[in-house]
Structure 1
């Protein structure tokens, strides 16, 4: 018993990046989460599918995901890199190579092809960088971090304190959001017959070429090539999904740049992001 307690103490002390689901101290938290997921996905996803997820050795708790989420500084991201000559040239080449497809998508959705390619460039460097985090582990970690007793073990001596009212509100909001996205992802994985641990994405769970979270996949994902599946790792479906997102949020080609910026900020709530997308698009038109 003393060995187990000492081992748990060491785990908390070093603040590990990964804690596998078979760690004994996680068991009650995982069990509570599993019961809740089964109840909320009742009649949508079979219980044995959910059981297999929660008993998988690949299920991993990443407490640093929530810590990163609470300390993220969007305005400090180096968006200027996407305006470098080499990237603009690659984006122009991509636009030319896919001109017919992009013109067709622009016609259907009313979103300029340059805006679509600009978002594709910023999100994943034209598909080169889609992320290395198993999406299910990201949302599982955010949801599990909603357990105050558990999460506080990993924020000792850090800049985060749940005694701070604003931090606590953001922590609760991120945990609730992560739990809902976990439900969406499990349902999507089941319906698409995916290995739920095979889908990799960003540190905050966005995946595919357009970097959609699961809810966005359900709302904005578009099957452009009509193969009866939405594949966010396919160029046609991805570009159409980006355009569909903007159209559904109210994008109009004839509107002002300020109006377009507000719509693009619904794709990513960041003014530097939206300004960069518009600047790239302008470069692509020239």
Structure 2
């Protein structure tokens, strides 16, 4: 009994100590989250005193470059919106982005290929018409649709205007450095400096396109959501691509990339305008798909999906023919 009592007391104390250490760990973790400099802000409102001069300069620059295209009061309204926010992590994410590390293999899983095959069969007449008119393999169109947005299920959660606004502002390294806490990430590194300058200039031009599109279509600029780098809709077009390659399939006078018909016709139109040839070699097709997304793993994945879809179609046709032949050969009951 004496030893049992000692053992019970020891066990109870161990439980208390374990629980106390757990609570202490949680408290320290919370304090680290609150005060550790490696925790980066996700969003900064545009009226933040640090941002104000940068936002004002950008707004005036936009007004000047869109003079005669978009009214100044419209631009003023957009830049005064409480929804306008700076997302510094977008440029930081771009500096560490590794396209080759993306999990493209997931799109070749049987379940996704089966969904793509079902989609192709359900929309076969429409897709065959696209193939005929644009000269683009219907399976490639579906492959891009699958990889870009998982057949329309994942179109992005970032306000497109804020994406281009943020990437543009991040071209000011004096501003961006306030939000970089990784000691191993230098904004003055030649590679990073080049990426920042190039991406910022690109984003500014896309911002101009996007504002113009929103004004013309009477869109709320903050209601359109897309990827972390500003691509939106089922085909994940950036604004310039929307202007150049967007296709009004249903003839309602507007290109709506969140409508399947307009979206898939726009994908086909993009590939056609960039030189896609239905009878071209695999390498020729790959080179055009890489214009859609400058990534070899991306292009290889799209072509692999298309090949699987074609094989599936051939297998289905073969099975159908075999079944019909068996029915013909089967002796009739007398």
Normalising by the residue count of structure 2, what TM-score does the alignment of the two structures yield? 0.81
CA–CA distance in structure 2, aligned partners of residues 175 and 147 of structure 1: 9
Which has the higher Rg, Structure 1 or Structure 2? 2
CA–CA distance in structure 1, aligned partners of residues 263 and 116 of structure 2: 15
1:149, CA displacement in angstroms? 0.8
Which residues of structure 2 form unaligned runs of 5+? 1-34, 312-334
Are 1:101 and 2:126 an aligned pair?
yes
Indicate the larger mover: 81-90 or 145-154: 145-154
Q: Which has the higher contact order (CA 8 A, sep 6+)?
A: 1
Q: 2:186 aligns with which of 161, 164, 177?
A: 161
**2:38/2:182 contact within 8 Å kept:** no
Q: How does 1:109-258 map to 2 (within 5 A)?
A: 109-258=134-283
Are 1:268 and 2:304 an aligned pair?
no
CA–CA distance in structure 2, aligned partners of residues 261 and 13 of structure 1: 41
1:15, CA displacement in angstroms? 2.5
1:65 maps to 90
CA–CA distance in structure 2, aligned partners of residues 256 and 13 of structure 1: 49
RMSD after superposition: 1.3
> Could you say what secondary structure the match of 1:24 adopts?
coil
1:5 maps to none
CA–CA distance in structure 2, aligned partners of residues 33 and 57 of structure 1: 17
1:36 maps to 61
1:100, CA displacement in angstroms? 0.8
CA–CA distance in structure 2, aligned partners of residues 269 and 56 of structure 1: 34
CA–CA distance in structure 2, aligned partners of residues 125 and 159 of structure 1: 35
CA–CA distance in structure 1, aligned partners of residues 45 and 188 of structure 2: 28
1:158, CA displacement in angstroms? 4.2
> Could you say what secondary structure the match of 2:50 adopts?
helix
1:13, CA displacement in angstroms? 7.4
CA–CA distance in structure 1, aligned partners of residues 188 and 229 of structure 2: 24
Which residues of structure 1 form unaligned runs of 5+? 1-9
Are 1:281 and 2:306 an aligned pair?
yes
Task: Return closer, same or farther for 1:147/1:237 CA change in 2, 3 Å cut-off.
Answer: same
1:157, CA displacement in angstroms? 2.8
CA–CA distance in structure 1, aligned partners of residues 114 and 181 of structure 2: 47
**2:86/2:166 contact within 8 Å kept:** yes
**2:40/2:181 contact within 8 Å kept:** no
1:92 maps to 117
1:22, CA displacement in angstroms? 1.5
Q: Which 4+ runs in 1 deviate beyond 6 A? A: none
